[in-house]
């Protein structure tokens, strides 16, 4: 069987590689010629441990090749971004253009699957577009939705081992999609309809966002009440039915901080907790930036000199080098803008150089700083001793009890 993956990003590329490794002939399609060129020469354009070796293997064996145009296949996978536009409305235009790009290639018996995170009804909408252009295919092709669930950094393991939810526009489509995924997924494949599968993806990430918002709300309360939030959560979690997540400097990445809006945009009246969670998690970043600015003013008033400030971490979560949609990066920018870029040392040990920030070694920055701001809980930072002579703003629990 031949499969065509539309989109060679953080999910499309690893999935295409894994499918190729399990005996599927794969063409990976991307509009970016550089991505296509790199893929064909066996080089990963994303960072994912262990994946480059696998890419080289499938390119060498001929199981996978990349192209800027789709090719006639038996199955087509839409794995393109679904960002949001103004007022947090989902933008499914990439899914639509990827779908339109394969329209003329579809033939009887083919499978068409959307993996991109999508608002409820997207799969049915794409089915309508396909049938409007190719009415002879109505009821003769299989259309399904199957969201990805992998955690960047652990993709090879999770792509194979995680359970997946598969929902077709009808039972036959679900079965046909299951037949494809069973080739490389060892986790259980759960069958449902496409609307439930779409909502399931949004629910998973909204659930995490709401739980993080609860932890962030606690951190604001505890700050006012003079309670160590890390100790509090640790103690509360000793209850057998309580499992609170960790507060931080906000929620970043391209999934958890985005997907809940796909629910709130369509169901504004009903999605109260989901909307509040988004507000709380966004507010937490503002609150952190204000805390830093206040600490700097206080230091200056008390010591009659400007402090040296170390901003520790730019990545959106611990132990990765991914800075996209990072609350830590946003806070650093806010603080720098309000302080004329003076005396601020920016630290990100997982990145060599940055085109905007001059990066400082984490130990050097910690030693030089009067104020240390812990933004991302990288393992390296946990090795730094707590120095009582410094003002330490620990937003991510480096020194938690």
Integer Cα distance of 171 and 55 in angstroms = 34
Nearer to ligand SAJ, 36 or 251 (CB): 251
344-347: strand order across its sheet: 344-347, 309-312, 371-374, 391-394
| 49 dihedral zone (left: phi>0; alpha: psi -120 to 50; beta) | beta
The catalytically annotated residue of 249, 255, 288, 396 is: 255
| Segments of 94-159 assigned E as strands | 111-114, 142-145
Nearer to ligand SAJ, 41 or 237 (CB): 237
CB of 352 to ligand SAJ, least distance (A): 22
The catalytically annotated residue of 176, 201, 284, 317 is: 201
- Which three-class secondary structure state does DSSP give residue 353? coil
Catalytic residue flag (residue 201): yes
Integer Cα distance of 39 and 45 in angstroms = 7
Overall residue count recorded for the chain in this entry: 401
Catalytic residue flag (residue 194): no
The residue among 363, 366, 345, 367 whose CA lies nearest residue 354 is 345
Integer Cα distance of 399 and 147 in angstroms = 37
Tokens of 99: 């779908």
DSSP calls for 202-223 = HHHHHHHHHHHHHHHHHHHHHH
CB of 271 to ligand SAJ, least distance (A): 17
Tokens of 211: 């739980």
Nearer to ligand SAJ, 63 or 258 (CB): 258
Nearer to ligand SAJ, 130 or 233 (CB): 233
Q: Are 58 and 18 in contact (CB under 8 A)?
A: no
CB of 213 to ligand SAJ, least distance (A): 9
Integer Cα distance of 139 and 278 in angstroms = 40
Return residues touching ligand SAJ (CB under 6 A): 148-152, 204-205, 208, 212, 245-246, 248, 251-253, 255-256, 316-317
Q: Are 198 and 147 in contact (CB under 8 A)?
A: yes
CB of 255 to ligand SAJ, least distance (A): 3
Nearer to ligand SAJ, 31 or 244 (CB): 244
Residue corresponding to tokens 């899914």 = 95
CB of 267 to ligand SAJ, least distance (A): 19
Integer Cα distance of 29 and 178 in angstroms = 23
- Which three-class secondary structure state does DSSP give residue 293? helix
CB of 52 to ligand SAJ, least distance (A): 20
Nearer to ligand SAJ, 197 or 212 (CB): 212
Q: Are 390 and 372 in contact (CB under 8 A)?
A: yes
Residue corresponding to tokens 């699957």 = 113
CB of 316 to ligand SAJ, least distance (A): 5
Nearer to ligand SAJ, 151 or 182 (CB): 151
Kindly list the catalytic residues: 201, 255
């Amino acid at each position: 069987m031949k499969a065509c993956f539309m989109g060679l990003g953080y999910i499309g590329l690893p999935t295409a590689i894994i499918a190729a490794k399990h005996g599927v002939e794969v063409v990976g399609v991307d509009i970016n010629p550089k991505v296509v060129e790199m893929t064909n020469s066996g080089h990963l354009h994303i960072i994912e441990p262990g994946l480059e070796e696998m890419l080289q293997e499938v390119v060498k064996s001929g199981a996978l090749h990349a192209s800027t145009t789709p090719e006639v296949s038996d199955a087509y996978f839409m794995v393109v971004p679904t960002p949001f536009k103004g007022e947090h409305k989902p933008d499914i235009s990439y899914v639509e253009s990827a779908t339109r790009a394969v329209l003329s290639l579809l033939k009887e018996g083919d499978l068409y699957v959307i993996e991109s995170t999508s608002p409820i009804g997207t799969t049915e909408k794409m089915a309508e577009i396909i049938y409007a252009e190719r009415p002879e295919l109505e009821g003769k092709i299989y259309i399904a939705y199957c969201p990805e669930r992998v955690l960047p950094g652990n993709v090879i393991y999770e792509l194979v081992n995680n359970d997946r939810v598969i929902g077709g526009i009808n039972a036959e489509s679900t079965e046909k999609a299951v037949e494809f995924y069973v080739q490389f997924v060892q986790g259980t494949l759960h069958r449902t309809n496409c609307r439930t599968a779409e909502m399931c993806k949004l629910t998973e990430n909204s659930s995490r966002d709401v739980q993080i918002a609860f932890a962030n709300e606690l951190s604001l309360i505890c700050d006012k009440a003079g309670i160590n939030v890390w100790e509090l959560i640790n103690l509360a979690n000793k209850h057998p039915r309580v499992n609170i997540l960790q507060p931080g400097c906000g929620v970043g990445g391209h999934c958890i901080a985005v997907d809940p809006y796909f629910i709130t945009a369509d169901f504004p009246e009903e999605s109260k907790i989901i909307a509040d969670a988004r507000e709380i998690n966004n507010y937490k970043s503002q609150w952190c930036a204000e805390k830093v600015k206040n600490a700097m003013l206080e230091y200056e008033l008390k010591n009659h000199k400007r402090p040296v400030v170390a901003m520790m971490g730019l990545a959106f979560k611990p132990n990765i080098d991914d800075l996209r949609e990072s609350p830590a990066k946003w806070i650093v920018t806010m603080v720098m803008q309000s302080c004329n870029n003076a005396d601020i040392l920016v630290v990100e040990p997982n990145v060599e150089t940055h085109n905007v920030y001059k990066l400082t070694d984490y130990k050097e920055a910690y030693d030089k700083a009067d104020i240390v701001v812990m933004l991302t809980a990288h393992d390296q930072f946990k090795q730094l001793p707590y120095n009582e002579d410094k003002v330490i703003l620990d937003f991510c629990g480096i020194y938690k009890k």
